Chain A
């Protein structure tokens, strides 16, 4: 089932949580809604689920499914498992409340729930209550419960938000495999760019209730549409200067409006000598040499903080150590139209 969000706005007591959001999700796609807290991503998910009504003028359409088959599976951030029911009864809930010709008998319910519990690898815990389970197990119960009604779309609100790092990693891979197997149209909400980049086929970046950019993880990472996106999906180094014939020039011309140049840490070049007006002086503050790349923290003359990633060969060739004076040159950079989606925070 495809999902078509058209011009959806949502206002709560004068606060605009969503502003004219339009979005198409193709059948079988796995999409991430990515953004900082308060950007409206959870509200958008709840509007799609029908838990909130969009402001007049907006609508959510579902294609490729008959009206009575538009079932939506929703996994809540805190799972919302029924505390007084066993794992088995939680998963069976959606089947037990069915009425009319689609009603299943007890044997069919048992069979179906058992199959789902096998799918989420929790058959052994069928008789347990939610409070006896770990966070990761609860998450999988919530998923099995949502899948029991054979949803045509699956919506997940911060599915890994309440779990520790290792469990997150595992569940992320597991969810990816599950999606490849079942191919249910899925939308998940996250504030974690790594999660979105790793899990989603397409990412929709939201900022202050608007869609800032949508595209594949690679597009969003390598061709961010705004400084906000660039900052949100990775680290950014910021330089102020002028653009002269496609090259950044940092020689200060007093009073001239400065252009903001954004570069990722691996897009910076370190040199021991000055390269015309295209490089800036800095001092090596710290070197992190444990990892696939050597990470360095530099400080500019005016107190700017820059983060650089070098490959180990280049690092040895330069023979750098902390405290050393060097020159920084952005090898690649992006310039975004001023005032448009710029990130309110200086890069750390």
Chain B
């Protein structure tokens, strides 16, 4: 009893909390507030105009489309990989786990360059693609591929430990009760990991929306066609359209805040999962 009390009585506690809050305010709250303030600096109308600008809307559309394709694919991949890793023994298992982490360890710019080397006009598949009139690099498909690549690990990394910790008793019980593989997955596995799946999806989505480096390499910056929101912010900024840049940036920030709120809610849900609905 004595130790916590004496700890509480020292100024250390207040100092610690004050410095943490100060740090957060300086490096997190202030920039976010600044973005909003700058976005609205020239009045609400400029803000609305910037957000209504066709180039901005096309960028928003491309960003959301890339996320909408990358998230479901990577969640399905993550669930399959987690299932394989947690339930079966096979050669190359640890190599697979390491490989899943690859997009996290290499710089996004390198990821983009790799795509250019494969799909670019001078790349391995360049002639083949050109012969069929297909454009990947400097076109939306390249953006989607880059987004897929950089967001690949998120769902898998969330689900592998979850599945490993659960073990396979429940699935074995279901099979012995007469369920087939499909019924076992839908009725037993998925309901028990659904919060993890959603959490992985949110992580994946926030990364997909915020990705800059890899898409920047493959995009070609064609305004209204291959610019994502982050690239659009950069373009506006480079052209000294400050309040427009900040307006679009504030849009991105709002998306980020929304996913963060979703994340926090899922976290709480996952912590109480298994409880009565």
Report A's interface with B, CB cutoff 8 A: 49-51, 71-74, 76, 78, 80, 82-84, 93-94, 96-98, 129, 131-132, 145-146, 148-149
Contacts and interface: CB of A to CB of B under 8 A. Distances in A.
Given A76-B169, A97-B179, A149-B178, A129 B187 contact: no
A96 B186 CA distance: 13
B92 interface: no
Given A49-B176, A93-B187, A83 B192 contact: yes
A78 B188 contact: no
B271 interface: no
7 contacts: A74-B176, A80-B169, A80-B170, A94-B177, A97-B177, A129-B275, A132-B276
Contacts of A131: 274-275
Given A82-B170, A83-B192, A93-B187, A129 B274 contact: yes
Nearest to A94: B177
A132 B273 CA distance: 13
A11 B125 CA distance: 48
A98 B273 CA distance: 27
A80 B167 CA distance: 10
A84 B192 contact: yes
Contact of B274 (A50, A84, A97): A84
B174 interface: yes
Given A97-B183, A131-B274, A80 B172 contact: yes
Nearest to B166: A83
Contacts of B169: 76, 78, 80
A73 B176 CA distance: 7
A90 B265 CA distance: 28
Contacts of B273: 83-84
Binding site of B, secondary structure by majority: helix, strand, loop or mixed?
A: helix
Nearest to B182: A97
B152 to A, nearest CB: 28
A186 to B, nearest CB: 15
Contacts of B188: 82
B173 interface: yes
A51 B274 contact: no
B22 interface: no
Contacts, number: 59
Contacts of A80: 169-170, 172-173
Contacts of B179: 93, 97
Interface of B: 169-170, 172-174, 176-180, 183, 187-188, 191-192, 273-276
B173 A97 contact: no
Contacts of A84: 191-192, 273-274
A328 B130 CA distance: 99
A94 B177 CA distance: 5
B178 A98 contact: yes
A51 B169 CA distance: 10
Q: Which of B174, B178, B183 has the most CB of A within 10 A?
A: B178
Nearest to B89: A13
A241 B274 CA distance: 62
A96 to B, nearest CB: 8
A341 B23 CA distance: 69
A149 B188 CA distance: 17
B177 A93 contact: yes
Nearest to B173: A80
Contacts of A148: 177
Q: Which of B174, B176, B273 has the most CB of A within 10 A?
A: B176
B170 A71 contact: no
A84 B179 CA distance: 17
Contact of A71 (B174, B178, B187, B276): B178
Contacts of A73: 176
A230 B180 CA distance: 45
A50 to B, nearest CB: 8
A72 to B, nearest CB: 6
A146 B174 CA distance: 10
Contacts of B275: 129, 131
A132 B174 CA distance: 21
B164 to A, nearest CB: 16
B204 to A, nearest CB: 23
B177 A145 contact: yes
Contacts of A145: 173, 177
Contacts of B170: 80, 82
B167 to A, nearest CB: 9
A157 to B, nearest CB: 10
- The 6 closest A-B CB pairs, nearest first, are A94-B177, A80-B169, A97-B179, A80-B173, A83-B274, A84-B191
Contact of A93 (B174, B180, B192, B276): B174
A264 to B, nearest CB: 39
Given A83-B192, A97-B187, 5 more contacts: A50-B176, A72-B176, A74-B176, A78-B169, A82-B192
